């Protein structure tokens, strides 16, 4: 919680949405709703979009070799029942109980493979700027696809947070994306949170203009 708060504070002065890509039970999205309400209760423009299959991982290929496949394979981390619906209700409940809670509808839950739902997001929200995106997909192909889509919408000063960037022994996709595609190609700074060292984030001073 403290690590996510540390990151949210970086975007208070930056316009744009929060995207939680690989939201699972939605804990980060729910935390962000509460950080929004505490730190910027009048910022009704800050939308929170939560993406997940809710049926577990999708998109592992042979390039993801070397991971702990008991934990990280297509279908693991699936959730019972209609979790997308439950998460929508959960977000609404938090929103309604928070400051300015009578102004509703600041969230959207996107159910399905994010390679498809991010396409739908692009069609439905063509002008949505992104201030902060959380990544926790852990298969290289969807991680790369989501990164390429999201970085194009990133506000100057925007932040991309990776939950597993330095956990290459167990789950190498984010580290591979960083080393192979991102490090030399996008102007950025790399940080780790003080409260939770494995949670790392990149700040992009030029936002979508970061590509060299």
Task: Answer whether 15's CB lies under 8 Å from 74's CB.
Answer: no
The contact mask relative to ligand SAM for 166-185 (x = CB under 6 A, - = no) is: --------------------
Using the rule CB under 6 A, which residue among 7, 28, 29, 158 binds ligand SAM?
28
Task: Answer whether 29's CB lies under 8 Å from 21's CB.
Answer: no
Residue with tokens 């980060």: 28
Read out DSSP for 36-61?
HHHH-TT-TT--EEEEE-SS------
Task: Answer whether 34's CB lies under 8 Å from 94's CB.
Answer: yes
Q: Which residue is nearest to ligand SAM (CB)?
A: 22
DSSP-derived letter for residue 180 is: I
Give least dist CB 21 to ligand SAM, A. Answer: 7
Nearest-angstrom CA–CA distance, 143 and 64: 11
Residue with tokens 């696809």: 145
Q: Which is nearer to ligand SAM, 6 or 210 (CB)?
A: 6
Interacting positions 102-141 with ligand SAM (CB under 6 A)? 113-114, 136-137, 139
| Interface with ligand SAM, residue 200, by CB under 6 A | no
Using the rule CB under 6 A, which residue among 3, 16, 142, 207 binds ligand SAM?
142
Nearest-angstrom CA–CA distance, 201 and 132: 10
Judged by CB under 6 A, the stretch of 48-56, 123-131, 182-190, 203-211 that binds ligand SAM is 48-56
Strand partners, 186: 211
The contact mask relative to ligand SAM for 58-97 (x = CB under 6 A, - = no) is: xx-----------------x--------------------
Q: Which is nearer to ligand SAM, 134 or 186 (CB)?
A: 134
Give least dist CB 110 to ligand SAM, A. Answer: 8
Give least dist CB 78 to ligand SAM, A. Answer: 7
Residue with tokens 């929170």: 48
Task: Answer whether 18's CB lies under 8 Å from 107's CB.
Answer: no
Q: Which residues bind ligand SAM (CB under 6 A)?
A: 22, 24-25, 27-28, 51-53, 56-59, 77, 113-114, 136-137, 139, 142, 163
């Amino acid at each position: 919680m403290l690590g996510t708060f540390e990151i949210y504070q970086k975007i208070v002065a930056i316009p744009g949405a929060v995207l939680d890509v690989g939201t699972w039970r939605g804990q980060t999205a729910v935390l962000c709703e509460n950080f929004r309400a505490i730190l910027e209760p009048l910022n009704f423009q800050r939308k929170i979009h939560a993406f997940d299959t809710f049926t577990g991982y999708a998109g592992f290929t042979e390039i993801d070799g070397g991971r702990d496949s008991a934990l990280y394979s297509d279908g693991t981390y699936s959730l019972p029942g209609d979790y997308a619906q439950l998460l929508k209700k959960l977000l609404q409940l938090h929103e309604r109980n928070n400051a300015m809670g009578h102004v509703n509808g600041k969230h959207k839950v996107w159910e399905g493979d994010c390679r498809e739902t991010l396409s739908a997001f692009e069609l439905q929200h063509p002008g949505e700027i992104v201030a902060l995106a959380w990544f926790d997909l852990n298969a290289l192909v969807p991680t790369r696809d989501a990164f390429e889509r999201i970085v194009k919408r990133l506000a100057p000063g925007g932040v991309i947070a990776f939950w597993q960037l330095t956990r290459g022994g167990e789950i190498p996709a984010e580290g591979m994306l960083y080393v192979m595609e991102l490090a030399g190609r996008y102007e950025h700074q790399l940080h780790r949170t003080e409260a939770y060292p494995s949670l790392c984030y990149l700040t992009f001073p030029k936002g979508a203009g970061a590509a060299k």
